[in-house]
Structure 1
Amino acid sequence: MPKATEYSLPVSAFFGVVKPSGPSSMSVINDVKNLVARSKIFVAEEQLEKSKGKKISKRGKNDVKIGQGGTLDPLADGVLVVGVGKATKKLNQFLECVKEYRTTCLLGCETDSYDSEGARVKTAPWKHVTREMVEQALEKFRGEIQQVPPIFSALKMDGKPLYEYARKGIPLPRPIEARQATVHSLELVEWNAEHKYRWPEKALSTEEKAALQKALGSTELQEDSEEEGLPPTFVLTMRVSSGTYVRSIVHDVAHALGSAGHVVTLSRTRQGRFALTETEDGDRRCLPWETFEKAAEEEAGEDGWRPWERSVLEHLEIVEAK
């Protein structure tokens, strides 16, 4: 029997979702909301009766509350902690917790967003880089470090997200300040000379590059040095504190190697006690996105639960029951 049925329904709770690469975190949350807002796990049956046939709004006062414990870039996949009901008020614990990531860097090319979703802004030599050089370079990125967040981030300066300055070519009021981060572990786990990844086809136009340079107050994007052949990739795993930008670590490591690089894959493998695989006491496994993708076509079984609801019931962390 699902654990949550030991409590009086509805409940406020956390559960983990494995976000796929592609959609935004908000898009994933909105899709999940369309399901939980019509489920007796989270909504009283009398309220469900009243809302039959009504459209689920994004910010409706009477709708079930739902939130997430820290966004992932559209490119990224992995752990997304979902809070429903009164659990939304306790999501801050996941913003402050230790997180683990696995990421792939493609050498030789820098993009405006520091990942493959962006446009090329600079190419650099890469043939001199070896696996041993990467392992040696990682030493300076462990422990307490200072890092500058990418300009294509939601971090705000004077009330405006940094990415707005970049897109509109608005000069930053001041340089982006370096922030302290703690890298508890950082390891090179793969070096690949053969792979499927390529530099982005899109490159900034002269006008776009000028706008980005204007926003940054810098001319460092003007240098290009392209070598023939397929640049290698390397894969890093890391355990980091809240506020650490994986894209910035990859960007800075590539610079330390005398090259350039950008993120081509990024997975959050752990966020606090929610993880892709249970390796520590108290770990909670996340539900694959396929559980929710096919939910709209499912019908309730003899026990009154749809398959997606049974899966959620098995993985809930109850914050408060009715």
Structure 2
Amino acid sequence: MPKIASSALPVSGLFGVAKPSGPTSMAIINDLKQLIGSSRLFVEESKIPKDKAKQRNKGKRGKEAVKIGQGGTLDPLADGVLVLGIGKGTKKLGEFLDCVKEYRTTCLLGCETDSYDSEGAQVRLAPWKHVTRESVENALDQFRGDIEQKPPIFSALKMDGKPLYEYARKGIPLPRPIEKRPVTVHELELVDWLGSEHTFSYPEKKFTEEEKQALAKSLQSVEGAVDVRDEVDADPVPQRPAAFVLRMRVSGGTYVRSIAHDLGHALGSAAHVVTLTRTRQGRFALEPKPEEPGDFGCVPWEVFERALVDAGEADADGWTEWEREVMERLDVVDGEKGSSS
């Protein structure tokens, strides 16, 4: 464990958390505030309540003893690298919004959803049995390099002060086309063809005919006739749709879900994301590379879960398990250690 001189305490810094799928990024941060706000690693000892358990139980309503921020949120569905900044480290979080990121995602064919992932509702079903591993690999080339992406209409991005999803849900015609955004896909490859050997399924929630008509109405003013009807009939002997796994290295601002959605169209089918893992964000990675001395690993979420229940016994230097794990992976920006000093 890296040594941090007591004279350098408290420190400011950056570290990565291996976020699990399920909770929101903000829920993760709110839980961590309870630990970080009562640790001498980040807070002056004179400002730490003697009853640390009472301080932790204050939860998010308690007064923050130190600033905590994130360098780019992850949706509840997504897991992987979540970069956190503590104290002066929050001032360096902006660099992680535009940095290169790496993802691993599983795409399920034959179904398009409003959110482009399995958290949403079915919008349209399409044929998928004609799609092969080879056809996916051939289609990927058009998504590599400098490309332009259109953000999903069911997103919080605003147009004339109104979220795009509000236009789609209420059937309000879009005043103009959704502006495409330039992004760079540095690497994109098919790493696993699962076929039907998986346990994924389409979302149970489906768009009603009224919702489909509202979506078509909002889009037709800028895209012409829009057909959101199912293209396939119900299969009398349902077959599990094919799925495949992509690995990508992309610029900041890239919509991974849009790549899956647009790829489905390019294949003459439909597709949505069922798993999404951010494996790297800048210098923080789930599997840091030994040949990259500037790489930092991520603290497993289970370490913090245990500490929230019981911090456990401190070692000879007074550090508990979660504090040792953080120090092992901490990029200090205000202290004696770290590349950002």
- Into which bin does the TM-score normalised by the smaller protein fall? over 0.9
Could you tell me which of 203, 206, 224 is aligned with 1:203?
Answer: 206
Q: Quick check: 1:273 aligned with 2:307? A: no
Q: CA RMSD in A?
A: 2.1
Q: Give TM-score scaled by structure 2 length.
A: 0.88
Q: 2:110 touches 2:126 (CA, 8 Å); kept in 1?
A: yes
Q: CA deviation at 1:171?
A: 4.0
Could you tell me which of 217, 220, 225 is aligned with 2:232?
Answer: 225
Question: Is the partner of 2:8 in helix, strand or coil?
Answer: coil
Q: Quick check: 1:241 aligned with 2:254? A: no
1:64 corresponds in structure 2 to 66
Could you tell me which of 304, 309, 319 is aligned with 1:305?
Answer: 319
Q: 1:20 touches 1:76 (CA, 8 Å); kept in 2?
A: yes
Q: What whole-Å deviation, never above 9, does each CA across 1:98-133 have from its counterpart, x for those lacking one? A: 000000110000001000000101000111111110
How far apart are the structure 2 equivalents of 1:63 and 1:174? 46
| Structure 1 residues 65-214: aligned runs within 5 Å | 65-193=67-195, 194-214=197-217
How far apart are the structure 2 equivalents of 1:211 and 1:59? 44
How many residues are matched? 321
How far apart are the structure 2 equivalents of 1:127 and 1:165? 33
Q: 1:12 touches 1:84 (CA, 8 Å); kept in 2?
A: yes
How far apart are the structure 2 equivalents of 1:312 and 1:111? 38
Q: Quick check: 1:314 aligned with 2:328? A: yes
| Most deviating of 118-127 and 154-163 | 154-163
Q: CA deviation at 1:164?
A: 4.1
The change in CA–CA distance for 1:173 and 1:250 in structure 2 (over 3 A counts) is same
How far apart are the structure 1 equivalents of 2:140 and 2:319? 49
Q: 2:297 touches 2:329 (CA, 8 Å); kept in 1?
A: yes
Unaligned runs of 5+ in 2: 337-341
Unaligned runs of 5+ in 1: none
Amino acid at match of 1:153: S
2:339 corresponds in structure 1 to none
Q: CA deviation at 1:162?
A: 3.0
Amino acid at match of 1:293: E
Q: 1:7 touches 1:321 (CA, 8 Å); kept in 2?
A: no
| Most deviating of 152-161 and 281-290 | 152-161
Question: Is the partner of 2:189 in helix, strand or coil?
Answer: strand
The change in CA–CA distance for 1:59 and 1:224 in structure 2 (over 3 A counts) is farther
Q: Quick check: 1:15 aligned with 2:15? A: yes
1:284 corresponds in structure 2 to 296
Amino acid at match of 1:301: A
